[in-house]
Amino acid sequence: MADPAPLGEIDEWKEVLARPRSERADLYRDASWRERARPATLAAWSHRWRKTSVEETRAHPDAAGVPLDRLAADRGTTPFDLMLDLALSDGMATRFRIVLENDGDDEIGGLLADERTLLGLSDAGAHASQLCDACYSTHLLGHWVRERGAITLEQAVWRLTGHPHRAFRVADRGLVREGFHADLVAFDAGAVGTTPVERVHDQPGGADRLVVRSTGVEHMWVNGTATRSGGADVEGARPGRLIRA
């Protein structure tokens, strides 16, 4: 709630974003602001409360992962007030998971099954502290292939390798073929997937970012050189090269 950018679509929250971060908690405590902001926020986000939950917290571990509308009902309050009260009682350290769009699994499954859909995902680092989608390949293999059966394992591997090779005309990569670079991954189809989101502070100046690690990836080779073996990264293995525009 120190940076409530998703709520900026609501006029009353523009007042929050116009204030320095150090003053935003004061506004959340202001009963008159709450009275003005509550109806507009509850109405504008009526379809999102069930998809909003506590993601990170120091003071309220029992609240993590529970949809905010259900949690508010159990506590006899509104999702709006609960969101503010949780943040205030945790020194503004509580972070919320908010699903904004693109969460219809049936529709996404249909798109994935359509071979005209080219898979790819990148936010180019613009929201490193808010989301991490770098794991989309192992999420595809774990969630969409093994758990939901939206596409077959063979289709998924093709969509991650041969399909971008063909679409972007990537020379000598994307296929297992004589003369191509030996970029290979050996994974356990029964275990491949992702770990929970983790926040680390390894950016310049100690800035934070979110990372997601993969499971079930046993071996990797880049340009024919092993970079991962037996489920562990090979220390010092850097056979790739930087590609400049």
Residue 104's pLDDT is 86
What is the per-residue pLDDT for 124?
67
Question: 10-residue block means of pLDDT along the chain (245 residues)?
Answer: 93 96 96 97 96 93 94 97 96 91 88 91 77 92 96 96 94 93 96 94 92 95 95 92 81
Q: Which residues contact 233 (CB under 8 A, 6 or more apart)?
A: 227
CA atoms within 13 A on the CB side of 230: 2
What per-residue confidence (pLDDT) applies to 100? 84
How many whole angstroms separate alpha carbon 244 and alpha carbon 163?
Answer: 23
State the first-to-last Cα distance of the chain, in angstroms, to the nearest integer: 38
Judging by DSSP bridges, how do beta strands 184-187 and 217-222 pair with one another? antiparallel
Q: For residue 123, what pLDDT is reported?
A: 67
Q: Give the global pTM.
A: 0.83
d(CA 41, CA 38): 5
CB of 219 within 8 A of CB of 226? yes
Spatial CB neighbours of 49, under 8 Å, sequence gap ≥ 6: 67, 68, 69, 72, 79
The pLDDT value recorded for residue 17 is: 97
What is the C-alpha separation between 188 and 213, in angstroms, rounded?
Answer: 15
Residue 57's closest CA among 22, 91, 84? 91
